Chains A and B, each alone.
Chain A
Amino acid sequence: MTDREPRDVARIVKDWLKADLATRFPTLSVALELPSNWSLGSNPVLVVEDDGDPLRMWPAATSPTIRVTSWTSGRNRTYVHAALTRLLTQSIPGIAAILPGTGVLDARDSKTRGDLASFTVRARARTAVPQ
């Protein structure tokens, strides 16, 4: 039995990106889910989600796939390109490593008609004793 638990990697990434990108993109929101009132013409949103973990490193660490997707009015890869570069080149407190996953793909959200740009990274985070 272990007293160590997984860290909420998606939340750590979201909080870090929010602070890191705030100056460069003052109108950008970074969230764990798309605001229910988002529509075409709204400010851009970057959504960070956890796509699951094969648990190959349990209980020492977790290895979730983190997906980052932007909702914009019109095709715009600016935010995901910035986020991808920052995640793969900077050290984030609480996360041991972030490795490349899949490159940026474009799509459209049929519900909001917003343009999507999305990528994934593979995170490694040591489990920790809850504070």
Chain B
Amino acid sequence: MFTMKHSYSLLFVALLVVSGCSDFLSETPDNRTQLDTKQKIAELLVTAYPEGNYSMFCEAMSDNVEDNPTGTKNARNADPYFWRDATSTDQDSPENYWNACYAAIAATNHALEHIRSVPDSADYNDQKGEALVARAYAHFMLVNLFARSYDAGTARYNPGIPYVTDPEKVSFKTYTRGTVQSVYDNIERDLLAGLPLLNDDAYTKGDATGVARYHFTRAAAHAFAVRYYLFRRDYEKVIEHADQVFRNNDFVSNMRPWNSTYRTYSSTELRANYTKATEKANLLLCETSSTWASSFTGLEFSTGATRYNEMFAQSPAGGRYAFSTLYSSAGLYFIYKFREHFVRLGMNANTGYPFTIMPLLTAEEVLLSRAEAYAMLNRFHEGMADLNLWASTRIVDYNAGAHLLTYNKLYNYYQLPSTRDLIVTCALDFRRLEFLHEGMRWFDIRRHRIPVVHTTVAGDTLTLRADDPRRELQIPREAVSMGGLEPNPR
């Protein structure tokens, strides 16, 4: 009998010990960190920007490139040229960018969840603002690659992409795509809620050790808003936000000095400086896990002589463009914008992870977007003024007398009937040059439904029509099979 009693008392002791164990077993198994200070929330938000790179596939899908048979062959470059569904899932593939965007979103959601749980939430407004705007940005990029372009008429019916606002906590979770409209509405809600909370000083002052250009400053957030409303075709708002990017609307001193300082740079200096935080035009920078910096100068489907001439040979303003282009033996033309940052696996290793610093939002984009918005609102003079502002820093030995853009010059150059079309077309051409190798052209092709023709050396001609379903990247395989999403039609 006593054994039974002992068993009970042992059980009781055991229960006591079990509860005592909970402290013992709560010891963290390694050097992981806890989100216990405001500073750590701020540091978590350092990763709230997509560390993937869309340039390789966006460039290859666009009309910036052509077939250069001696260039390096690579599925991540070839698949998008033929608008095929990607076979690679490595860095620089659409799936990699998808994953990077959602990883950034997860960082914002973990930060926001923590902020919601602290008693003094208001104290975290700086971080809350950044998280909301960053969440909006990553979703915006996804919806504009994997879903139909925004069109007020159809956005309500076209499937979007999952808008994620809570951390995932189970091993498998399914999602729904929503509609383009709902995604856009969510983006706007986050953007407008976050923007007023942003505080540029939070990144650099006090105990913060950040670099503001790698975060959503107010200027960067307004620049993002400019892009958002431009894509949404809400032109009043484009102008409203564009005017808030720089104090006194001073674009000139904030743009890349292509026809002055940049002209003096050697190619190694240009690639060292183009993506630096000290470069005022870079409103938002991001380090991306990408081979783009080492590959954009040699891939088979990249800018060759034909495309180069199409873009750079002539300017509607007259004169010569100041962009310093290099030429490779494979017949490729390129502007040396990027330098690879190679993080080796070990101190003496040959293998490692390549990084490319990308400018995500720039002063030039804001300026040219505003030009387009003015034109769409029939404020042509102001539109022309923005175009001229751009040209004044891009034409060699710029001379307003000789190089000033006029309606007449534009008409002669483009032969288009409407003034609005002239300005918009010119703005799009300027954007194409300005953002060469940066993937922006693809977004312009999508939203303006510009047809693209790709030819091959073998003589094939492929056309991407204005309504081609291949304008939407295919939803990644596992997002369909495991995530429960509807794939895009093919």
Same complex origin of A and B: no
B residues engaging A (CB < 8 A)? Answer: none
A residues engaging B (CB < 8 A)? Answer: none
